[in-house]
Amino acid sequence: MAEYNKNMSPEEEDRMIEEAYQDVLNAYLASNHRKKVEIIERAFRFAKSAHKGVRRRSGEPYILHPIAVAKIVISELGLGSTSICAALLHDVVEDTEFTKEDIEASFGSKIASIVEGLTKISGGIFGDKASLQAENFRKLLLSMSTDIRVVLIKMADRLHNMRTLGSMRPEKQYKIAGETLYVYAPLAHRLGLYKIKDELEDLAFKYEHPQKYAEIIAKVSESEKHREEIVEEFVGPVRKKLDAAGFKYEIKARVKSAYSIYNKMETKKIPFEEIYDIYAVRVIFENDDDTLERIHCWEIYTFFTDGHKVHPERLRDWTSTPKANGYRALHLTAMGPDGKWIEVQIRSRKMDEIAELGYAAHWKYKTGVHEDDTELDKWMNTIKDILANPEPNAIDFLDTIKLNLFSAEIYVFTPKGDLITLPAGSTVLDLAFAIHTQLGTHCIAGKINHRLVPISYKLDSGDQVEIITSDSQTPQPEWMQFCNSAKAQNRLRAILRKDRRHLTERGKKLYDEFLEREGVENTPDVMTRLLGNLHLPHKEDLYLMLANDEINLSAKQLKDLNKTRSSLLSKILRNPFSSKKQEERKTPVNRKVIYVLHPDEDKPNYKLDTCCQPIPGDDVLGFVDENEDVVVHKVSCPNAMRLKSSFGSRLVATKWGGVADRFLATISIDGIDRRGILEEITGVISRDIGVNMVGLTINARQEVFHCEITLQVDNSETVENICRSLKEKIKGVKFAKRIS
């Protein structure tokens, strides 16, 4: 299809639209679906007419977006005519004068209900207000629990928006990329849409860290030829065995995504060259008999073990116990020709489709009730459970959902041998709540292999667990720290909330009586400052402590309120925009242009938050508070991630406009200990590079030392130079990396 350009004539534009639609139709005709071309044709004509004259921000005709979403729906998700029609029509109800009833009259109730589900969650999950954000996310999950196709088409919509993010302003790019990493990528992961998850993460990474993205892609490309040679040498003997055994198969070399590589480099603080699992090998075999699928996987496994050393602790059998999103495969890790470990994934063609497309593939294979759907049903029930008892705080609500989206799984057994899937890190208490709320409410201990363990005990895959209960046991607030699953947390909060309600009411009455006695007006400002002084997050906590006689309020505390105020962003994640009122308001920050940071001025034109300590050279972005101050975070800061997702309208794209010798950075150094090595390290830093040291700790044990030095630096490049110089100039220094 031709690329859009702004000089196209109306005739050329129309021809381009028709070609794009024909691509969708060709992909549909090439699939295994029943050929319902007539209804797809009508949906396209309807959408084209409805969006006539409307353009996207890039200038191209709007109809190209629904067509692109429909193309993803058929080509990358493998869905059928109902989903293609819904994708073509997904913006009609929201953006034009047509209603759900119009869609239903023309295309039937199923397509109309999917379009309505998509309309409810349009405009991004996140509004400008946290309450709106949570409400929209609830709508997404409710829609998903009635028809999974709603969220699959929403994924296709988000993927196309990410692919065309370049036409948006920088601060919008940060908002949409942050939103994608915070919710859409984990949701894709949980639905088994690994291919889409990887692309969403890579695109978000590309816009958040453009320079690092380009560096990693360049390094992956540079090593491609060498990688191909290594993989071919590695799989050569296996190919011969597969051919001799009569397998029809294909072998693919898969490269780790740029975002995964970056994450590993950041988490482990290692350079690109030290990541050993950049590539993996995938063997996909054709299989006509489902009963022989697992046997064939293990047969191919033996072909690898015959000629290669296999890592004993990295065998993963997902063939007999699928992941909660339906993923099935046999994984092993073997030693490659260059002395680096290579992961091998063995899958049948059906396993591969489910691995790539998750529940989109299940939809395709589904004929009535399918055994693979049971795990999805369990997960959906957890989602419905959370929706039935939603968190009042929007950020807490999202975190509860994310806990359930992100978690890897473990598999444990009941005394009767029933298999239960739980998030990794789950405790005895999590298991009790997973089986039944009453069991969780009265749980006092667990029994594993005839050994009693406390409710806080973390379970491992394969444990057979008996829950011990007592009628006298009642849930306690401290149990929250023993719950690592969303279901248990949600149930426990609901129970505690009921118990707390009457105590909270009593505490509120005591608070109101106290203020009346002291002659102080009961205003939100008084409450906010009192909570700040007492270091309490919510007014309910104050009411509970008053009701339980844990604190007493005095007239002195009220006087002290006028002397102290909470710092601007110290509680930003609880109350993102609380600050003291200023008589003089600053000039509003223009969020549509890139805000230039000037650390070299006497009074910098920004503020730094304490959570991530960015320095010039780091990828940063700004949040504009209610006093129009720009507060700077690293793009990858976890707090920034939550704020990007929740308060996108307060974002401003930033860049460094200078450097200044006023920033602190800490480097970690490891190596072989010897006499005089510390003197050499400090010499390189202070004498050779001329940087001031403000803190130093060193520990040496059995000839190995670990040292952390805090430096006063001007930018990140200086820190990188110091780390490089230490490794190159000082014998015995093995690692030197920035840790803050």
Using CB atoms within 10 Å of the CB of residue 3, give its burial: 0 to 12 exposed, 13 to 18 middle, 19+ buried.
exposed
Q: How far apart are CA 183 and CA 186, in angstroms?
A: 6
Q: How far apart are CA 58 and CA 102, in angstroms?
A: 29
Q: How far apart are CA 651 and CA 625, in angstroms?
A: 10
Candidates 625, 614, 672, 629; CA nearest to 650 is 625
Phi–psi pair at 256, nearest 5 degrees: -55, 145
What sign results for the dihedral spanned by CA atoms 53, 54, 58, 61?
A: negative
Q: How far apart are CA 299 and CA 286, in angstroms?
A: 14
Q: How far apart are CA 544 and CA 578, in angstroms?
A: 23
709: helix, coil or strand?
Answer: strand
655: helix, coil or strand?
Answer: strand
Q: How far apart are CA 284 and CA 347, in angstroms?
A: 5
Pairing mode, strands 249-255 and 316-317 = unpaired
Q: Give the C-alpha distances (Å, rounded to integers) separating 77 from 349, 380, 462, 505, 568.
A: 16, 20, 34, 52, 46
Using CB atoms within 10 Å of the CB of residue 87, give its burial: 0 to 12 exposed, 13 to 18 middle, 19+ buried.
buried
Q: Which string of DSSP letters, residue by residue, matches 396-461? A: HHHHHHHHHHH--EEEEE-TT--EEEEETT-BHHHHHHHH-HHHHHTEEEEEETTEEE-TTPBP-T
**Which residues are known catalytic residues?**
94-95
Which pair of structure tokens corresponds to residue 363? 């939809």
Candidates 512, 431, 421, 511; CA nearest to 465 is 431
Evaluate whether 320 touches 297 at the Cβ level (below 8 Å).
Answer: no
Q: How far apart are CA 189 and CA 176, in angstroms?
A: 18
Evaluate whether 137 touches 129 at the Cβ level (below 8 Å).
Answer: no
Using CB atoms within 10 Å of the CB of residue 619, give its burial: 0 to 12 exposed, 13 to 18 middle, 19+ buried.
middle
Give the distance from CA 284 to its chain's centroid: 29
Q: How far apart are CA 307 and CA 298, in angstroms?
A: 15
What sign results for the dihedral spanned by CA atoms 190, 195, 198, 201?
A: negative
Contacts of 569-575 with CB under 8 Å at 24 or more apart are 569/607, 569/609, 569/625, 569/631, 571/532, 571/537, 572/609, 572/631, 572/639, 572/643, 573/395, 573/639, 573/642, 573/643, 574/537, 574/538, 575/528
Which pair of structure tokens corresponds to residue 31? 């699939």
Q: How far apart are CA 396 and CA 404, in angstroms?
A: 13
Q: How far apart are CA 711 and CA 29, in angstroms?
A: 64
Evaluate whether 372 touches 354 at the Cβ level (below 8 Å).
Answer: yes
Q: Which string of DSSP letters, residue by residue, matches 293-331? A: HHHHHHHHHHHHHHHS-B-TT--EETTTS--TT----EE
Q: How far apart are CA 43 and CA 84, in angstroms?
A: 9
Q: How far apart are CA 717 and CA 616, in angstroms?
A: 9
